Amino acid sequence: MYYIVRVTSSQERITADILQNKVEKGSTQVYALIVVEGMRGYLILEAQDENAAREIIRDEPHVKGILAKALSEEELDRMLAAKKVVEEIGVNDIVEFSGGPFKGYKAKVIKVDTTKEEMTVELMDVAVPIPVTTKMSTAKILQKAEKV
């Protein structure tokens, strides 16, 4: 099963390294540690059961706790697949917002910042096109830009 562990934000990699060393030294039932880019403040552990997951994180710095509900493999796949869609948005693409304050609006992408998962767009069908920076996860691609 997969378990989500809450950690101090921006300390995900350090905490994963500490836990990895602990796994390698001892005989634990933890099989994998996953650090997902863009998922700040969380790690994913694959362990035999919740007790094994709790045992490995006990008394570790930067660990805040473990979420009570375990993830199934399908839920984990969906979570990781959602991140891949964000990476496909590029400059000059036409997107439509599916959430947030611009829900239903169409926009042209003028800048993409994949590290922050943000994009700067110009809203279409408005009197004055003003650049707006928003999260990439709130939009879906309507039309990809033509490659030159």
91-146: pLDDT as tens digits: 999 999 988 888 999 999 999 988 788 899 999 988 888 899 998 888 888 998 88
When pLDDT is averaged across residues 33-58 and rounded to a whole number, the result is 90
Residue 84 is predicted with a pLDDT of 55
When pLDDT is averaged across residues 26-43 and rounded to a whole number, the result is 87
pTM of the model: 0.58
Q: Which domains does the chain have, with CATH numbers?
A: 2-84 (3.30.70.940), 89-143 (2.30.30.30)
Q: Is residue 148 pLDDT above 70, yes or no?
A: no
End-to-end CA distance of the chain: 46
Residue 4 is predicted with a pLDDT of 94
Residue 26 is predicted with a pLDDT of 83
| Rounded Cα distance, 144 and 92, in Å | 8
What crossing angle do the helices spanning 12-25 and 50-57 adopt, rounded to 10°?
A: 110
Percentage of residues in the chain with pLDDT exceeding 70? Answer: 95
